[in-house]
Amino acid sequence: ERAREILERTKERETNKLGIEAMDLLDAYGIPTPDSAIVTDKQAAVEAAKEIEGNVVMKIVSPDILHKSDIGGVEVNVAVEEVASTYDDIISRARNYQPDANILGVQVQEMADLDAGTETIVGMNRDPQFGPLVMFGLGGIFVEVLEDATFRVAPVSEDEASDMIDEIDSAPLLRGARGRDPVDENGVIETIQRISQLVTDFPQILELDINPLVATPDGVEAVDIRATID
Ligand code: ADP
Ligand code: MG
């Protein structure tokens, strides 16, 4: 029901793109997301950061800016005393980049543990022949460089989701290569299945990417999403 509301709200807008403001969509399908708040002034940003505790990540929220870090729209590891000035920096970079962008605010987000974790990507696009193709691969910079990804037609079963992890060349990275602790594979499998369910329930989702889904030994966290809605 919540997912439906989020998608309907999008239809009322001028764009069919959803960005980081759609984190609730994942939440509605039980995919873990870091604590976060979207704020529209710097005082509220500071309050949100205090609420989260520890350093935070700050991101531009705009359906017109889907590649946020390309324009300086993401700052990681921001200490609370830097939050107010970082808020101004992020907004002014976005305005410079695209003066007519519809800026909804800034997201203040809890930090994911990237030291213990690996950035993966779970995505979907609709193939004219096969229908909804769910994708899994390594995220971050690796996804473009290695082109190491695998696909299944939704709905994806638990076994299929598990096979998807086996199939990528970088599977050893998730399974404790170089003395690292193996990541929570069940969390990855569940996320693949939940995305598969979401895009099966809502044919109007044409495209969707969680990039990254941070996978750590303790679980997974979706820290970024973008989607195209019909
Ligand atoms: P975009 O893909 O639009 O540039 P992201 O939200 O994916 O924006 O952020 C860019 C990068 O910043 C991520 O790939 C990740 O490396 C880092 N990052 C984003 N959010 C977090 C977070 N909550 N914790 C730790 N690192 C993060
Ligand atoms: Mg991203």
pLDDT digits (tens, 9 = 90+) for 64-76: 998 999 999 999 9
Greater pLDDT, 153 or 179: 153
Has residue 146 got a pLDDT over 80? no
Of the candidates 5, 17, 138, 16, which has an alpha carbon nearest to the alpha carbon of residue 66? 17
State which fold the 2-110 domain adopts: Dna Ligase; domain 1 (3.30.1490)
pLDDT digits (tens, 9 = 90+) for 49-62: 999 989 999 999 99
Q: H or E stretch including 214? A: strand 205-216
**222 in helix, strand or coil?**
strand
Atom in ligand 1 nearest the alpha carbon of residue 65: 3
State which fold the 118-229 domain adopts: D-amino Acid Aminotransferase; Chain A, domain 1 (3.30.470)
209 touches 137 (CB < 8 A): no
pLDDT at 225: 96
pLDDT at 142: 63
pLDDT at 141: 67
Greater pLDDT, 12 or 194: 194
Tell me the residues surrounding ligand 2 (ion) with CB < 5 Å.
Answer: 211, 224
* Cβ–ligand 1 contact at 109 (below 6 Å): yes
Helices (H), 64-169: 83-97, 142-146, 158-167
Q: Give the span between the Cα atoms of 142 and 39, in whole angstroms.
A: 31
Atom in ligand 1 nearest the alpha carbon of residue 211: 7
69 Cα to the center of ligand 1, angstroms: 8
Count of helix runs (H) and strand runs (E) in the chain: 8, 11
Has residue 92 got a pLDDT over 70? yes
What is the rounded average pLDDT of the residues 75-91?
98
Ligand 1 atom 16 nearest Cα: 140
Q: Give the span between the Cα atoms of 57 and 76, in whole angstroms.
A: 4
* Cβ–ligand 1 contact at 68 (below 6 Å): yes
Mean pLDDT for all residues in the chain: 94
217 touches 44 (CB < 8 A): no
For the chain, the domains span 2-110, 118-229
Atom in ligand 1 nearest the alpha carbon of residue 67: 3
* Cβ–ligand 1 contact at 69 (below 6 Å): yes
pLDDT digits (tens, 9 = 90+) for 20-52: 888 999 999 999 999 999 999 999 999 999 999
108 Cα to the center of ligand 1, angstroms: 12
What is the rounded average pLDDT of the residues 82-96?
98
212 Cα to the center of ligand 1, angstroms: 7
How large a percentage of the chain has pLDDT more than 90?
82
